[in-house]
Amino acid sequence: MAGIDCEAVDPEVAENAALLVSELVTNAVLHAGTAIEVTVRILDHKVRTEVGDRRPYRGLVPQGHFPHATSGRGLRMVEQLASRYGVDTGEDSKTVWYELWLDGGQPPPSGWRSEVPASSPTRTVTLVDLPGALYVASQQHCHSLLRELTLAASTGQRSGVRPADLAVAHDVNNVISACVAAEWEWEQQPSAAHFRTVRLPFPADAGPAVLTLRRVLDVAEEAARGERLLSLPALPQNSALSHWLLDQLSGQLAGGPPTAWTVMPREPSASPLEPAAWEAGQVTTSGIPTIAADDENRIIAANGSAADMLGWQADDLIGRRLTTLIPEHLRKRHVAAFSSLLLTGRPRILGRSVPIPALHRDGRLVPVRLFIQTQETADGRPVFVAQLTPRTVIPAASPGPSEEGSDEVIEAPGGVREAGGAQQAGEYGAEPDDDEATGSVRERRLLLLADIRDALSAAADLKEGVQRVCAILSQRLAGWCVVDLLSDSGQLERVCVTRRGSGSLPAEVGTGKLPVLTENARGPLGRVLRGAGPLLLSEAPPPHQSGTLLDTHYVELFERMGARSAVVAPLRARGAVFGALTLARSAAEPPFTEEDLPQVADLVRNLALGVEHARLYQESRQIAERLQRSLLPVLPDLPYLRLAARYAPSSTAAQVGGDWFDGFVLPNGNTAVVIGDVAGHDLDAAVAMSQLRSMLRGIAVDRQEPPQEVLRRLDLANHSLYREATATCVYGVVEGPENGPWTLRHSSAGHLPPLLTTREGVTSYLEDGMGLLLGMDPDMPRPEAEVPLPPHSTVLLYTDGLVERRDESLDVSLSRLRRLTAALAREPLDVFCDELLIGLSADSADDIALLAVRPVPAPDR
């Protein structure tokens, strides 16, 4: 040491020096595994620290800066705190160093690059469609597992991995990171939608080491799932990518061909192998009620539709636990399932449509279908995005990630994926003169019109359809697309804004209510909404047109889009204008011309027609929803007999159907319970169902006859009124005094047998009393059966949608139902019903109705 006394060093500098040297020594222990030499010198107003090892062939691998990374922070800390840093490599050693300058001078630039001597022959390995963010997340997880195994081994703990294998695994994992980092320069945090084909010069003899790494990681994952490690297990997509990466390396080193990541198969219940890039704007602009939560179970985004449905303001939900929206009787299940996902990495309901109740702010339950998918932040953290659609609404599929070099991918008819990006011939500007090229342009126009119609017809609601259309138009016709719609009350609302390219929209260019349309509006939007157009704008609207708030707002929109030309066209239906479409291009794109107006006119006619059909469909669907809700009965509240019921329409079929349940008290004090199913999944089936239910109630209350006689009279009435209508039904009567004992007398018209589950979990199907379905032969005698009901036993009446599955025998389905009811035998009746729906009804191809009945003795009430 020379030049400065050690005691004269500033305490903060000394603290930084100690911190940084500990990081570099830890890296050397973990990654070099050789003897280490540490040197600290104070010279010329600087502190210089050197950490040397005997592995010159293992270059440093900066991991980049990701806020939630669990490894790779050491070199980043050196970059942030040191005045200078670098690495020197010799023939048999490597030295990593940094300097802390004491005089505050401006040091020259630093870096970690060095010439690393070649250690062995290499072979090129091609990783086709390597996903950016998912790779980062997967490698971070691998580093965490290996580091924890190494630290555990240093304390003498047994991990199930031999020390020699752990050293090999750690070594080759560093080689993989170094090779990918060298070939793929991370200029910024990679997005989840960023794919790239990477060619790696990889050590030709490393195949056995890669297989060892795969085995070690499998053991570590099993330990993490068993909670024997602090690290959480990998989520399915991270684990799948790690396996694919290692299989590609070992397979290609052995002479096999490459296989692209994007063509790898996956389990249907797993999340997409490359989740969509997380953007809060996707939630807030969605027309479907949507809520997003992070991996700490906190809500991080919610749109107005979801908040309104559950009685909240969207901003009030941010930061709250997700359990705020979950009924109390399902909270333990949710916490257990969420913890299980994080602790095991195994999903249960991700990617499935599950009917459950959500909790309204006022305490009532709102029946919804829950559809959860994962998205990915830039640094690989999962975000869970849930669509809470009303039970009678079908959830829309989420758009998939785009390929590299494209801005967005649109699913076209027949599964063809058409991406935006580079301008195609004939996409902009006038049509070419060549006949073949002209035909190609016409084909593209027809395909564009077809895609618009498909986008509208496939959407779950009007806003969702408009957003899909805007996405198509901003990719293939204009840089920007804006749709404004007028409500029946005259309120103007901007329902969609999209632009070509990735990234979120500027805060000033969003959706929402617009200023009032008045007769004084002279700008392009005001003129179009009063019937003019299509209007061709070759430049920004002049300032003198900003006569009203709406005009001023539109001029500001034009400026914020950076538009230099645009077409504004009215959306008309039944002779009235109900909205406007704006297509805009920037100065970097060919301007719109007169030749574009006929195509835009065709587009707006098709768009207007589709929007009008969507509006009419939405209105009819709302009517159907109200009808369906009106047909669901209110069950009696009895002290000695508990009843609970659930109804969930199919996630793929019509909004109303023929499934029904009922429960009511007869004049003699007994309780009638009913389950039924009319053939069909349409409004006719719902009407026939409502009439059958009403007739059965009338017959049962008026006659108070045995169940088989009630069904015979119902069949006779049905045959007289609807000769071609068929239906199944179970009619039962629970008899007995308030304190028991109780019996169930029942008769079935071709319906699935009721299931009796005792409190001890013993199950039996009540198969006696089975007869022909309604509508076949009203003169055929009907059987009846009687069975005792033990206290706290549960009788389950259900329709076939709960159990029947395509390509599965009914015996298998019924056995599964028995196992589940046995496991739920002691649960409260609401939990019993909800768990059945969650466990059995995801993606059911049929409607589901179920009714559970449970007698309760007086001391247990």
Q: Supply the DSSP symbol for 366.
A: E
Residue 398 lies in a domain: no
Residue 402 lies in a domain: no
785 in the same domain as 654: yes
Residue 259 lies in a domain: yes
689 in the same domain as 816: yes
Q: Which two tokens stand for residue 231?
A: 């690290």
Q: How far apart are CA 7 and CA 21, in angstroms?
A: 19
Q: How far apart are CA 471 and CA 461, in angstroms?
A: 16
Residue 133 lies in a domain: yes
754 in the same domain as 636: yes
666 in the same domain as 613: no
Specify the pairing of strand 576-586 against strand 480-486.
antiparallel
The three-state (H, E, C) secondary structure of 426-481, written as one string: CCCCCCCCCHHHHHHHHHHHHHHHHHHHHHHHHCCCHHHHHHHHHHHHHHHCCCEE
341 in the same domain as 366: yes
684 in the same domain as 652: yes
pLDDT score recorded for residue 406: 31
- 291: CATH: 3.30.450.20
437 in the same domain as 368: no
568 in the same domain as 673: no
Contact between 352 and 259 under an 8 Å Cβ cutoff? The reply is: no
3-state secondary structure of 46: strand
Q: How far apart are CA 353 and CA 375, in angstroms?
A: 17
Residue 549 lies in a domain: yes
| Per-position DSSP letters for 605-658, written without gaps between them | HHHHHHHHHHHHHHHHHHHHHHHHHHHSPPPP--SSEEEEEEEE--SSS-S--S
- 85: CATH: 3.30.565.10
- Domain final residue pick, 620, 644, 669: 620
Q: How far apart are CA 66 and CA 76, in angstroms?
A: 10
- 781: CATH: 3.60.40.10
Nearest to 732 by CA among 759, 776, 768: 768
| Residue 700, φ and ψ in degrees, nearest 5 | -65, -45
576 in the same domain as 430: yes
pLDDT score recorded for residue 787: 96
Nearest to 643 by CA among 666, 667, 672: 672
| Residue 100, φ and ψ in degrees, nearest 5 | -115, 110
Residue 626 lies in a domain: no
Long-range pairs for 4-12 at CB < 8 Å and ≥24 separation?
A: 4/42, 4/43, 4/45, 4/102, 6/42, 9/42, 9/47, 9/102, 10/102
199 in the same domain as 58: no
Return the bridge partners of 536, or none: 567
Place of tokens 């040197």: 39
- Domain final residue pick, 263, 297, 312: 263
| Residue 34, φ and ψ in degrees, nearest 5 | -125, 180
pLDDT digits (tens, 9 = 90+) for 14-49: 788 888 888 888 777 766 667 888 888 877 778 888
pLDDT score recorded for residue 402: 33
Residue 108 lies in a domain: no
Q: Which domain holds residue 173?
A: 122-263
pTM of structure: 0.53
Q: Which two tokens stand for residue 829?
A: 């009746």
Residue 145 lies in a domain: yes
| CA distances from residue 492 to 235, 461, 498 in whole angstroms, order as listed | 44, 19, 18
546 in the same domain as 446: yes
291 in the same domain as 215: no
User: What are the start-end ranges of the E strands in 243-402?
Assistant: 276-277, 290-293, 299-302, 353-359, 365-376, 382-390
Within the chain, which residues score under 50 in pLDDT? 1-5, 65-70, 116, 186-193, 268-275, 392-439, 653-654
Number of independent structural domains in the chain: 5
Nearest to 469 by CA among 456, 457, 458, 482: 456
Q: Supply the DSSP symbol for 379.
A: T
- Domain final residue pick, 620, 650, 684: 620
3-state secondary structure of 367: strand
Q: How far apart are CA 638 and CA 437, in angstroms?
A: 76
pLDDT score recorded for residue 269: 41
Rg (CA), the chain: 34
